[in-house]
């Protein structure tokens, strides 16, 4: 049946946990609930003892009824039976009520830890793992694990009742007790033997469900593209494929459990038949009284019940254990971006350096090759180059979004791997080509720049961009609601909000990853005005394809095939007639109607074919590397 589950592979960070290790990991989540756990344990014991006492009292009632002498013993025993039943119900109710609160708190902490583990991962982790699959771990798997905890606490009472009833069975009749224990041993052995295959099948089903979540989330986020290219049928076909894998995994799991449950129930039935046959002969021989025989049959019925209950919950137990493995695998996963120390970073001067840095999104395919680059505090540097040259990779390493494989990255002379990562990132103001906005209001999203900022500070940051004129285009100004990702706002409006957020952040280093690549000229002028103010006296790194931005830079760095091949200002690089000159002729030259004759490369005149190609090339806007995820990751 393995071929039916092709395509359902474990994630690279998944690992196996034993039952003892899972128990050890979950115990700390119960800290602070010691009294509640003690009361729940006591309630379980009281309920189990009261429930176990019922068959003993029934047996005594049968014997008393057979020899009733009119003393009212039968009535008294009936009253005691009702009382023990009421006590069992009351303590079971209290146990379940407190268990619900206790488990809710445990799951709350577990979900928070899983969410924190997901948010602290590096960008390479998100490049290789679908977001929907992570959401499934944080939500569905924690809920499945909560069900497991609830069931375990409930089954503790049944296990205790099994032990008490086993003792009672041996007290009543040792041979019959031994026979019952032998049958129970077979049932336990079958259940334990089934555990490993059940755990594996449960993991396959949960992975398949996570794959469905990931596919649905990705498809709905890209629904506009699917509609534009008539991809609804292809999307539906993709869903049928991943949904089919989930279906086959679920069918396999159900078949496994549907096969073991009848077997366990049959074993209990055979055990009952054997006990009835042996016990019936003992009653006829006078070795066992009628009351003892009734007591043994009542106790036997109660004894089988928790065993079969544990078997009936075996599916959920294994799903819960598999969910626990997936949750703790995420929590235990170490980010690839690792800090060697946690030196405080109150504020950066802005001196940045890459020293012989080698980096690749996969180890066998380097994107940057022994890159060395120094950026002085307060300097504006523009990174230019063809698509995929490595420009965005440079700024992402400065942001510590990825771990580099060789060399060093320095900030104010300190290796960035020795700095407090959260404090270091707060010193970086980042605006990307596709900034991400969270659900809330415009003011809420600007306020992310400095948590705790008051309304006046947020308004000041908003008016620092283009004098705040852009607010007039919003229905409710700063209180305008923002949908997930800012979908209800234009790209230009999202860019302005992201810029205002950086204004409020007041970071010492500004990183602009093609921040004006996909907006109209008017909005670009508004943003450029704000950038000029923001970049003053700050270290600014610009990944750009717009000539106005490039020409304003103190230094232009040309990146090609993962290497820095040219550096200098606009005029100097044009006179060299090198790589930047060729980029200028292809991309920049005709981005403005009036071409400065001084910008003509030394010894170079464009022929009509090159000019036409250059104009066509001006539509180029951005690297093919995503930037929206990095913006959300940074903030």
pLDDT in tens, 173-217: 777 778 888 888 887 777 777 766 776 777 787 778 877 877 777
d(CA 391, CA 378): 20
Number of domains in the chain: 2
The number of residues in the chain equals 635
Range of the domain at 256: 2-332
In a domain, 65, yes or no: yes
**Max CA pair span of the chain:** 128
Three-state DSSP at 411 gives strand
Give the per-residue pLDDT at 206.
75
- Using pLDDT thresholds of 50, 70 and 90, give the confidence band for residue 622: very low
Tokens representing 135 are 């959401």
d(CA 90, CA 44): 11
CATH code, 174: 1.20.1560.10
In a domain, 95, yes or no: yes
Mark whether 326 and 418 lie in a shared domain.
no
Mark whether 240 and 201 lie in a shared domain.
yes
- Using pLDDT thresholds of 50, 70 and 90, give the confidence band for residue 628: very low
Mark whether 397 and 530 lie in a shared domain.
yes
Tokens representing 513 are 């990853």
pLDDT tens-digit series, residues 97-111:
888 888 888 888 888
In a domain, 341, yes or no: no
Could you please report the per-residue DSSP string of 236-253? HHHHHHHHHHHHHHHHHH
pLDDT tens-digit series, residues 247-261:
888 887 777 767 777
In a domain, 158, yes or no: yes
In a domain, 337, yes or no: no
In a domain, 109, yes or no: yes
Burial of residue 317 (CB within 10 Å: 0-12, 13-18, 19+) is buried
pLDDT tens-digit series, residues 479-524:
999 987 888 888 888 888 988 998 899 899 999 887 666 666 776 7
CATH code, 486: 3.40.50.300
- Using pLDDT thresholds of 50, 70 and 90, give the confidence band for residue 627: very low
In a domain, 485, yes or no: yes
Mark which of 332, 361, 383 sits at the end of a domain: 332
- Using pLDDT thresholds of 50, 70 and 90, give the confidence band for residue 4: very low
In a domain, 342, yes or no: no
């Amino acid at each position: 049946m393995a071929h039916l589950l092709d395509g359902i592979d474990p994630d690279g960070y998944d690992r196996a946990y034993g039952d003892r290790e899972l128990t050890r990991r979950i115990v700390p989540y119960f800290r602070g609930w010691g009294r509640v756990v003690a009361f729940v344990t006591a309630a379980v014991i009281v309920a189990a003892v009261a429930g176990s006492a019922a068959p003993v009292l029934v047996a005594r009632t049968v014997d008393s009824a057979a020899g009733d002498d009119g003393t009212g013993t039968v009535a008294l025993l009936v009253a005691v039976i009702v009382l023990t039943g009421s006590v069992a119900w009351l303590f079971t109710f209290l146990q379940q009520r407190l268990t619900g609160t206790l488990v809710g708190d445990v799951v709350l902490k577990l979900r928070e830890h899983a969410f924190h583990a997901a948010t602290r991962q590096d960008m390479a982790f998100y490049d290789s793992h679908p977001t929907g699959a992570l959401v499934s771990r944080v939500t569905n798997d924690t809920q499945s694990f909560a069900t497991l905890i609830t069931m375990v606490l409930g089954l503790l009472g049944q296990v205790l009742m099994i032990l008490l009833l086993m003792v009672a069975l041996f007290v009543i009749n040792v041979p019959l007790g031994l026979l019952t224990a032998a049958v129970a041993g077979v049932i336990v052995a079958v259940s334990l033997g089934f555990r490993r295959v059940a755990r594996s099948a449960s993991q396959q089903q949960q992975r398949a469900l996570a794959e469905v979540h990931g596919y649905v989330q990705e498809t709905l986020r890209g629904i506009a593209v699917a509609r534009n290219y008539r991809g609804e049928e292809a999307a539906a076909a993709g869903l049928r494929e991943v949904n089919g894998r989930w279906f086959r995994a679920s069918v396999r799991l159900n078949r496994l459990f549907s096969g073991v449950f009848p077997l366990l129930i049959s074993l209990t039935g055979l055990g009952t038949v054997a006990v009835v046959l042996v016990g019936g002969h003992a009653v006829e021989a006078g070795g066992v009284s009628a009351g003892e025989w009734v007591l043994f049959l009542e106790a036997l019925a109660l004894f089988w019940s928790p065993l079969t209950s544990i078997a009936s919950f075996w599916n959920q137990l294994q799903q819960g254990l598999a969910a626990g493995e997936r949750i703790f695998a995420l929590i235990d996963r170490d980010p690839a971006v690792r800090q060697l120390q946690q030196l405080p970073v109150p504020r950066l001067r802005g001196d940045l350096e890459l020293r012989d840095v080698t980096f690749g999104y996969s180890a066998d395919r380097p994107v940057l090759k022994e890159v060395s680059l120094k950026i002085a505090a307060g300097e504006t540097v523009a990174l230019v180059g063809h698509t995929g040259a490595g420009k965005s990779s440079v700024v992402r390493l400065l942001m510590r979004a990825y771990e580099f494989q060789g060399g060093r990255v320095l900030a104010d002379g300190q290796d960035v791997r020795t700095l407090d990562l959260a404090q270091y990132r707060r010193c970086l103001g980042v605006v990307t080509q596709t900034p991400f906005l969270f659900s809330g209001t415009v003011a809420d999203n600007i306020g992310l720049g400095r948590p705790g900022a008051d309304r006046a500070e947020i308004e000041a940051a908003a008016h620092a961009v283009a004098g705040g004129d852009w607010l007039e285009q919003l229905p409710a100004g700063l209180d305008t609601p923002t949908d997930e990702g800012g979908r209800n706002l234009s790209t230009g409006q999202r860019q302005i909000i992201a810029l205002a957020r950086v204004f409020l952040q007041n970071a010492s280093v500004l990183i602009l990853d093609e921040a004006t690549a996909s907006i109209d000229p008017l909005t670009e002028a508004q943003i450029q005005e704000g950038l000029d103010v923001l970049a003053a006296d700050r270290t600014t790194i610009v990944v750009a394809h717009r000539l106005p931005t490039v020409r304003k830079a103190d230094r232009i760095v040309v990146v090609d095939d993962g290497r820095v091949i040219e550096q200098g200002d606009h005029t100097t690089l044009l006179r060299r007639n090198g790589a930047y000159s060729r980029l200028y002729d292809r991309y920049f030259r005709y981005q403005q109607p009036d071409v400065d004759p001084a910008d003509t490369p030394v010894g170079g005149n464009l022929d009509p074919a090159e000019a036409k190609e250059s104009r066509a090339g001006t539509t180029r806007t951005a690297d093919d590397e995503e930037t929206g995820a990095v913006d959300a990751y940074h903030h």
